[in-house]
Structure 1
Amino acid sequence: MKKTIFTLALLAGLSGAAQAQRNISLGLKAGGTYSSYVGEDADNLKGLFGFHAGGFVNIGLTKLFAFQPEIIYSQKGTKYDINEDVRQRLHYLDIPLAFHVNADGLFFEAGPQVGVLLAASGKAGSFSNDIKNNFNDFDFGYLVGLGYQRKAGPGIGLRYNGGFVNNTPSAETSIGTLELRRRNSAFQLYLTYSFGGR
């Protein structure tokens, strides 16, 4: 009798593990980014086009909810309205932690995001220089979006990334602390492809 109960429990555990495995899929994503800065000191700025690409793991928690952590290389930045040849390009390794609400492939998402600044350059005409030291090494923000994505196959999505913190550090001057109140802001339109799952 004990062996029968043990065998049934083992089979139930294996069945649950297999079910959980079918609810996990890996995927790739890539698309375009339209970014700028927002905040009280973000006047006379315009959007800048770039791209982003990376991978994700979609973990089905229930039929309705899923958790999707990602690792994304993302170009952000801005250009100046008074002279479009003057621009700043920021390169981030973003780690979004997206929570999905699913409805037969259609999803709505929201969650936090951490970004690590990999590089930054300023460009004026043909002149370019490294400006990474002018920016914070880390960014913290949020994401909201929607799209269509199955556990296997192609998908599409539109996402907004907003920053909670300024992207430049404060600096001490002879007249006090100088702080530019500017945060990253980016719209991302992307395609996905998922492998595995149900």
Structure 2
Amino acid sequence: MKHLTIILITLLSCTFINAQVEIKPGIKAGMNIAGLSNLEENGGIRSEKITTFHIGATLSFKFARFYTLQPEVIYSKQGSEYKNFGFDGTQSIELNYLSIPVNNKFYISNSGLNFQVAPVIDILLSHKNVNNPQKVDIAIAGAIGYDIGNGLVMSIGYKQGITDLLGRNVDTGNGYETTDVSDLILNNVIQLSVGYQFKL
């Protein structure tokens, strides 16, 4: 059994060495078109999306011709504008996040075209015009990307938060949770990004 274990460890080590994982650090930045769902159901007259930005660093691990794992650390400005009863003019909710997506990039054939899906943890850094928002938002993101060449990359994607901004739960009919799903205030953002990846 001991010899079998040694053989398995040796084979696994050789596999990882021969895999020749290509590692590329990078930077990315772009435009956010951000909003918050269901503000109307929570007292707002009309909500509107806001145009902001995101910027950060990436680190890609190319394990195969068709698959790359790319964790990122991104500063992302999000929120919404809305008009509320009893207020004149437009109110603005500002939410500034440290966003940590773990992108799974799947490439089509030998082209630079790729499809991306990522779980995301958004950590709230600061906020304005909202009381006691949740410090952490869990989200799911998807994107279509293209590797232009010479290190340049671009993508268009959508990120949907799944945690209520105010920390409320969905009504399950058990008498303990009282919020209807249509009342949950959720982050959503369209992201247009360009980036550059460095060769090590």
TM tier, shorter chain?
Answer: 0.7 to 0.9
**For residue 155 of structure 1, what is the aligned residue in structure 2?**
153
Instruction: Within 5 Å, give how 1:16-55 maps onto structure 2.
Output: 17=17, 20-21=20-21, 23-39=22-38, 41=41, 44-55=46-57
TM-score norm. by structure 1 comes to 0.76
TM-score norm. by structure 2 comes to 0.75
In the alignment, structure 1 segments of 5+ residues that lack a partner are: 1-8, 123-130
Instruction: Within 5 Å, give how 1:69-84 maps onto structure 2.
Output: 69-81=71-83
- Could you list the per-position Cα deviations for residues 77-125 of structure 1 after superposition, in whole angstroms to 9, with x for gaps in the alignment? 0001566631111000000011011132111101210000000012xxx
Secondary structure at the aligned position of 2:20 is classed as: helix
Secondary structure at the aligned position of 2:64 is classed as: coil
Larger deviation: 157-166 or 179-188? 179-188
Secondary structure at the aligned position of 1:134 is classed as: coil
2:189 paired residue among 169, 182, 186? 186
Amino acid of the structure 1 residue aligned with 2:31: G
1:169 is displaced (CA, Å) by: 2.4
Secondary structure at the aligned position of 2:166 is classed as: coil
Q: Paired residues, what number? A: 172
Structure richer in strand, relative to its length: 1
CA distance in 2, matches of 1:49, 1:19: 42
Identity of aligned residues (%): 23
**For residue 69 of structure 2, what is the aligned residue in structure 1?**
67
Q: Is the 8 A contact 1:151 1:195 kept in 2?
A: no
**For residue 169 of structure 1, what is the aligned residue in structure 2?**
167
**For residue 105 of structure 2, what is the aligned residue in structure 1?**
100
Whether 1:112 aligns to 2:119 is yes
Runs of 4+ in 1 over 6 A off after TM superposition: none
Amino acid of the structure 1 residue aligned with 2:101: P
2:139 paired residue among 138, 141, 159? 141
